[in-house]
Chain A
Amino acid sequence: MTEITEVPSPFCGIGTDDLTIKVDGVLLKVIENGCAVNTPAFEQPITDTQARVSGQEVSLDVAVAKAAELLKDTKLPLIGGCATDVNGMRGLLALADKAGAVIDNMNFTGARNNFLALQDSGWMNTTLAEVKNRCDLLLVVGTDVEAFAPRFFERYLWNKESMFLEDTSSREVIYLGRAPSGTASTSPTGKAAQVLPCAIEDLPEVIAVLRALVKKQPIRVTSVAGIAVADLQTIADKLLAATYGVVTWGAGALAFKQAELTVQTLSEMIKDLNNQNTRCSGLPLAGKEGDQTANQVCGWTTGYPARTRFSSGYPEYDPFLNETKVLLENGEADALVWVQAFNVNAVPPETNLPTIVVGRSGMTFTKEPDVFIPVGTPGIDHAGHAYRMDNVVAIRLKKLRESGLPSTAEVLNAIEQAL
């Protein structure tokens, strides 16, 4: 039995790397600095260690050969999930290039709200260490931050010391749209966040008014979506008065049509603030299920984010037409490869297509896939790299135990070689 300290997590998206984990054979127990997201993800037991073809246990070689056979004569295989580490994505993209596949990260429909805004007008963003040391005002838009990452406030807002704030507990937190599910955003001195709730689908209107107020445009109405314009004026004034304001949102939490326009309005509002003699930055929440990792590696390998097809012999990005759901519903895809090394509950979508699952050991299926290859989890069963939410820091994941499970990269490289 050993204890491993300073363990980084690929699960929470905020790059926690202070976990202490007790390792007993292949059993893990988080004994320090766990949270509702990380603890179960680390402690998930290994169930399968053997690959299966049509439900029958086989050797890895046989499973790989079968996967290659299923992919051999396909016209448009779909590689979904795309939830793995950097080397896993390298292998995945090599396979996709060779097989002429579409690749689609499972969080892309949410992330698309950010990409469309980014690719249309850009943004001014920041990273977690800047938040930790500089942020004096945090505006949370339409997102329950602590449900997303339970330790966000503890690590990056209520840290004991910061380089540029006398007293971190004097930071101000404002929720717009959605109320927090707990009290993590309440300061150590007991100051609760200000909450201005509205229906999530009314956020476009609310944010448009807020931006207008930041730009000092006259607003004639006195309330919008149930929020008094005077209250929005107060937020605008606080953003203008802040030394280093930060605006955060989860692209997936903005679950309404054309939410990219709301991300864009927020991002343009942040630019407006920076043109009015103060600093303000965006901080999109992400980094789960390897989403930032997938987009980064696909970005440098193809030029495009991780919703890209290779069926023409070169990468073609389309944030709508290359969506897993669309390709399955329209009958365009003719095989499914599901890659998910982090989350046993993120199972492949239901389909009658030939299905290959390269998944975390412990995954269970309502319909047995044609091929199931259990793989190790990056940061538990093998070393690796994962990007956290701010897309700058790639954390070095550690190997914690000897499980004998292959890595995603090993499996996908083997399938590519067999093709």
Chain B
Amino acid sequence: MLIKLTGGIVYDPASGIDGQQQDIYIRDGRIIAKPADAVVDKEYDLKGKVVMSGAIDMHTHIGGGKGNIARTLLPEDHRQDPVYRSDITRSGCGHAMPSTFVTGYRYAEMGYTAGFEPAVLPNNARQAHMEMGDIPILDKGGYVMLGSDDYLLRMLTAKKDQKAINDYVAWTMTGAKAIGVKVVNPGGINAFKFNQRKLDLDEQNSHYGVTPREILRVLATAVKEIGVAHPLHVHGCNLGVPGNVQTTLDTIQGIGGLPMHLTHIQFHSYGTEGDFKFSSGAAQIAEAINRNKNITIDVGQILFGQTVTASGDNMRQHANHKHASPNKWVTMDIECDAGCGVVPFKYKDQNFVNALQWAIGLETFLLVNDPWRIFLTTDHPNGAPFTSYPHLIRLLMDRSFRNDMLATIHPEAQKMTTLASIEREYTLQEIAIMTRAGAAKLIGLKDRGGLSAGNWADITVYTDNADRQKMFEKPDYVFKDGQLVVVDGKVVSTKWGTTHVVKPEFDASVEKGLKDYFDRYLTMKLGNFKISDDEITEDGRGSISVHPLQGDVA
């Protein structure tokens, strides 16, 4: 079947197309060049409509144990947003931590066609993939979490060379079916198990004598040398601690020019100035990002209202539990691998700290110059549920709306932010870079995030509207792999997306040391740890898409 999308205004940063009228042809799920004399089976008249590729959320907690703990913890939140079944969709729940099916529907209904779970614990990777396997429509993938695992820390203490560490990282990525590597509070989750309650960048783990700075270096080097496109994905030290802006600046400096992605940087951009000893470090951070081209970031914007924070960082989540609202929370130590912490939060615009967090996130968006190196996230659900993205886009694209909102927050927070003076408004092309082309490039997706021939036909069509929130919350059409899945912001058909992975090579002898370690200290056999392809494909719904490594011949 040949589909033609006629006359839309196309924003395709991957091809350098910025708002030009173009026709798009789709056959067998992919975008093709204009075919000679072929009969068009189905034509959509998109004259005047805005056309982008499907959006990609490069950091969203959509699969894995901590998310399911968050769900279990909050029945009262689900009850306020029940989702009915229909002839084509399953029932579920929405709001802060939606059920898997509803996650897929609601992302698609906003024009998103892919989401990446950033915190896949190796020992919990099966669950992450099984949950994502129940998310319809979206493509998905995961970044495997390392850096607090005892195996790596033992290697560092034993002064194993970089090659050995590269093999271990590549082996873990393959076993856990990952497309990236993440580190969360480097070494800190491990230190918490030894009763350390904080861990600065140059502070030693009390058992291993290893510092977060060393862990970051060795993992960033491994990711680069293995050839993984996505740079080491870093949730830094001291999340949420006033004064952590210095930690973040030191982290950037300490990585020595290696590629590094700093995630939910808003939570790591706090100073200690002012009457409340809490201030914005966004300007310093933005300056450092602008200067250091090896660094990419996503923001982790907070938006006001009830949500739940779910993180691998049990050290910091334990410290934050006193802010839990409602007052209930969970932490776990997990399998000599990592941990997790789940703390419900209600961000309030009349709370000074929350109000300034909101402003810090927006300052960061507006002060970082290069949209190819900054990504639109709320760290779903930690800063706000992903369903708030259209509102966030309006805040970025509409200065007068932004200033109206600014005028309503805690007055002392208004005084502590430069937001009112920032004139920048994001353009449609910049939004398309942050949420499409840039995200695909960052993750290393070879045929997503663009609209040129050869890409998969993940396409979102909007009606241009000066109210950008209205525009982005209700696309006219969404196509996933060429299938029309959303019309007027409602799911009209469903399908199953693919799981994006890389399969880096490693020296097979890496398993010798690992087998011994599994037998002596862990709770399952090495052979039972590794996830096989058929675990993702056997129910007939899932599929695996392997992406090239840097240095591969295309």
Contact = CB atoms under 8 A, between A and B. Distances in A.
A133 B336 contact: yes
Contacts of B527: 6
Interface string A374-389: 0000000001010000
A164 to B, nearest CB: 7
Instruction: Please name the 8 residue pairs, one residue from A and one from B, whose CB atoms are nearest each other, closest first.
Output: A303-B93, A314-B82, A303-B78, A122-B328, A129-B335, A394-B126, A122-B329, A313-B84
B130 A394 contact: yes
Nearest to B517: A163
A163 B194 CA distance: 12
A163 B521 contact: yes
A121 interface: yes
Nearest to B82: A314
Contacts of A394: 124, 126-127, 130
Contacts of B90: 94, 97, 301
Given A130-B193, A392-B335, A395-B524, A314 B84 contact: yes
B78 A304 contact: yes
A275 to B, nearest CB: 9
A349 interface: no
Contacts of B324: 122
Size category of the A interface is 35 or more
B250 interface: no
Interface of A: 6, 8, 15, 17-18, 86-87, 90, 94, 97-98, 115, 118-130, 132-134, 155-156, 160-164, 243-244, 274, 277-279, 281, 295-297, 299-305, 310, 312-317, 383, 385, 391-396, 409
A130 B75 contact: no
A6 B134 CA distance: 29
Q: Which of A98, A125, A243, A295 has the most CB of B within 10 A?
A: A125
A331 B147 CA distance: 55
Contacts of A312: 82
B91 A314 contact: yes
Q: Which of A94, A128, A297, A302 has the most CB of B within 10 A?
A: A302
Contacts of B82: 312, 314-316
A122 B535 CA distance: 32
B131 A393 contact: no
Contact of B336 (A90, A163, A297, A310): A163
Interface of B: 65, 67-68, 71-75, 78, 82-85, 90-93, 97-101, 121, 123-124, 126-127, 130-131, 134, 150, 154, 192-195, 207, 318, 324, 327-337, 342, 520-525, 527-528, 531-532, 534-535, 538-539
Contacts of A274: 318
Contacts of B524: 8, 15, 17, 393, 395
Contacts of B329: 122
Given A97-B91, A118-B72, A301 B100 contact: yes
Contacts of B130: 86, 297, 300, 385, 394
Contacts of B535: 385, 396
11 contacts: A94-B90, A164-B207, A295-B72, A301-B90, A302-B99, A303-B97, A304-B78, A385-B126, A392-B124, A393-B335, A396-B528
A394 to B, nearest CB: 4
B323 to A, nearest CB: 13
B337 A299 contact: no
Given A305-B72, A315-B82, A244 B193 contact: yes
A281 B193 CA distance: 10
Given A90-B134, A127-B334, A118 B68 contact: no
